Structure 1
Amino acid sequence: MGKRVPARRRRRLYARALPLGLGLTALLVGGVAALAGRPESGPTPGAAAPGEEKPRSAAARTPPPSPAGSAGPSPGTPSRIPIPPDGPGTFTTARSAGSPVGSGGTLRRYKVQVERGIDLSGREAAVEIETILAHPRGWTSEGRHSFQLVGSGPSDFEVKIATPGTVDRICGAAGLRTRGEVNCTVGRTVVVNLKRWVLGSDQFDGPVTEYRALIINHEVGHRIGRGHVTCGGAGKPAPAMMQQIKGLRGCHANAWPYAEDGTYITGPAVP
């Protein structure tokens, strides 16, 4: 294995790059031809029409900032909420909405949906995902992609957070084996396994909030046409499009597609 960045330093870097206190959408940075389904890595065929959460005021959307360097979860996302093995397969749409993030390219509108029966705030998850997609080291970095969170109306893709059993059914319908453990992208649906959203991964030594950034960057990467790659060399940051949960192969864990200097982090393609 290559030299790993100490967890303490990684937390400091993450705290500078992505504050855990999620603020108003107006304070965020900035403003698909879909791949075949990929495990670990949009609407699900036959999925029930989603419900909707009630909108809330801008003031209510503003949680207090977390201390710098905090590795705890974002507000509304306890680190150990219950993880039911299965759920009804119906979803509630977060009624959060924001301005476009990113400076150019194709604007993709997306919704965030949480499976019914999960003790997880859809609104808080939506703001967290919006913050990840607005990050300067995220997919907006190269100026080719922009994103907008919407709570109603047309959308280009959905991010569904679901129980392991529901993930297996959605992904399995496309011929993907998630085994109750991993995420996938199917058509225009990003499917996030609640188990990974809450617990992170043993292969990832950063805070769980940073691992959520990896989930979103990896799966949305598939939505914008990126395929799997592997480690680019011992001691280097693992690409966001690497299946890091399967092992780092000498790289060190990393959540972001781009380095701080704007370089795209990649490696050899995986067939």
Structure 2
Amino acid sequence: MPAARRSPSRSARRRARSRRRRTALALGGTAALVVLGAAGFTLLGPTDGQPQDAGSTTQARPVPPVSDSPEPSKPAESSAPPQSEPSKNDPSKNDSQVVQHGSGNFTTATASSGAVGTGGTVRRYQVQVEDGINIDPKAAADAIHKVLGDKRSWISNKRDSFKLVSSGTYDFTVMIASPDTTDKICGAGGLDTKGEVNCDVGKQVVVNSKRWLTGSPQFNGTLDDYRALIVNHEVGHRIGHGHEGCPGPGKPAPAMMQQIYGLNGCTANAWPYDSNGTYLKGPSVP
């Protein structure tokens, strides 16, 4: 007869149960780790399979997207004059007179004069004012003639003379135009006046009516003096002068200095020569 099968002992049964329990726990822990690795923020319990809060230390944090937009470009430097306190005569009170966009039509001043100056080339010029910009052509022509006839103006060099004419041949025109029209005329010659400044282009000296009516925040003289600076500076270009800088702190700014951008330590001055006939020169600048 075969031998009777012996029943496992109680201790053997306990050891078998212990091995099965350790195996189940190991498998359950492995499943939990796999799910955590895949989801990144969710932990599945080994028994019921339901999500459990893993806490802030394991929860994924959204990463802000990297923008592919370029860094904003720096604004281009403007040639417009910087802001400052109004000048002594407070020309800012005349701002309401400035017409931004004129008619585009010009009236030639019915004014003429004999030549001013004692030698050199006589340059004939007309004065034209855009219609509808609150500036009288005859009054403007008289003011310009007075500037060019002043002994502190360019006639002091004994090489240039000027004659105001209203008809016939002429060498150049002094045009006073609204800011928009100034930009259009000067822009046709490749110059960007930005609605603020004047220019000399072709056969035209173009005066921005904003400057004629309000002056410059950097110039602390009278409005009449600033108008003289406009005429002397632009006519200076007409007869061959370039820009000049400040010759030194406390000295008069040259008429060929762009004083609307600041005086750099110089004092405001409208005239190329002083009352003794000395040229008020500064270092040449581009």
Residue 208 of structure 2 is aligned to residue 184 of structure 1: no
**Aligned counterparts of 2:90 and 2:127: Cα–Cα separation in 1:** 22
Which residue does the alignment assign to 2:254? Answer: 239
Which residue does the alignment assign to 2:212? Answer: 197
Q: Residues 182-226 of structure 1: CA distance to partner in whole angstroms, max 9, x if unpaired?
A: 000002100000000000001100110100000000000000000
Which residue does the alignment assign to 2:263? Answer: 248
Q: Residues 211-267 of structure 1: CA distance to partner in whole angstroms, max 9, x if unpaired?
A: 000000000000000000110111100000000001101100000000122110111
Match of 2:160 among 145, 153, 164: 145
The percent of aligned pairs where both chains have the same amino acid is 58
Match of 2:184 among 165, 169, 181: 169
Question: How far off its partner does 1:81 sit?
Answer: 6.2
Question: How far off its partner does 1:176 sit?
Answer: 0.8
Aligned length: 199
Return the TM-score normalized by structure 2: 0.67
Question: How far off its partner does 1:119 sit?
Answer: 1.7
Q: Return closer, same or farther for 1:209/1:81 CA change in 2, 3 Å cut-off.
A: farther
Return the TM-score normalized by structure 1: 0.71
Q: Residues 142-190 of structure 1: CA distance to partner in whole angstroms, max 9, x if unpaired?
A: 2111000001111100000000000001111111111100000002100
User: 2:186–2:201: 8 Å Cα contact kept in structure 1?
Assistant: yes
User: 1:81–1:119: 8 Å Cα contact kept in structure 2?
Assistant: no
Which residue does the alignment assign to 2:285? Answer: 270
**Aligned counterparts of 1:72 and 1:217: Cα–Cα separation in 2:** 22
Which residue does the alignment assign to 1:103? Answer: 118
Residue 114 of structure 1 aligns to which amino acid in structure 2?
A: V
**Aligned counterparts of 1:72 and 1:181: Cα–Cα separation in 2:** 18
SS in structure 1 at match of 2:231: helix
CA RMSD of aligned residues (A): 1.9
What pairs with 1:48-197 in structure 2 (closer than 5 Å)?
79=94, 82-197=97-212
Question: How far off its partner does 1:90 sit?
Answer: 1.7
Residue 234 of structure 2 is aligned to residue 219 of structure 1: yes
Residue 237 of structure 2 aligns to which amino acid in structure 1?
A: H
Flag structure 1 segments of 5+ consecutive residues without an equivalent: 1-38, 41-70
Q: Residues 23-62 of structure 1: CA distance to partner in whole angstroms, max 9, x if unpaired?
A: xxxxxxxxxxxxxxxx99xxxxxxxxxxxxxxxxxxxxxx
User: 2:97–2:213: 8 Å Cα contact kept in structure 1?
Assistant: no
SS in structure 2 at match of 1:130: helix
Residue 203 of structure 2 aligns to which amino acid in structure 1?
A: R
User: 1:201–1:211: 8 Å Cα contact kept in structure 2?
Assistant: yes
User: 1:81–1:198: 8 Å Cα contact kept in structure 2?
Assistant: no
* Structure with the greater alpha carbon radius of gyration: 2
SS in structure 2 at match of 1:264: coil
Structure 1 or 2: more helix by fraction: 2
Residue 128 of structure 2 aligns to which amino acid in structure 1?
A: Q
Residue 149 of structure 2 aligns to which amino acid in structure 1?
A: A
Flag structure 2 segments of 5+ consecutive residues without an equivalent: 1-78, 81-88
**Aligned counterparts of 1:185 and 1:80: Cα–Cα separation in 2:** 24
Q: Which has the bigger relative contact order, CA under 8 A and spacing at least 6?
A: 1
**Aligned counterparts of 1:120 and 1:247: Cα–Cα separation in 2:** 27
**Aligned counterparts of 1:165 and 1:183: Cα–Cα separation in 2:** 12
Residue 154 of structure 1 aligns to which amino acid in structure 2?
A: T
Q: Residues 114-135 of structure 1: CA distance to partner in whole angstroms, max 9, x if unpaired?
A: 0011221100100000000000
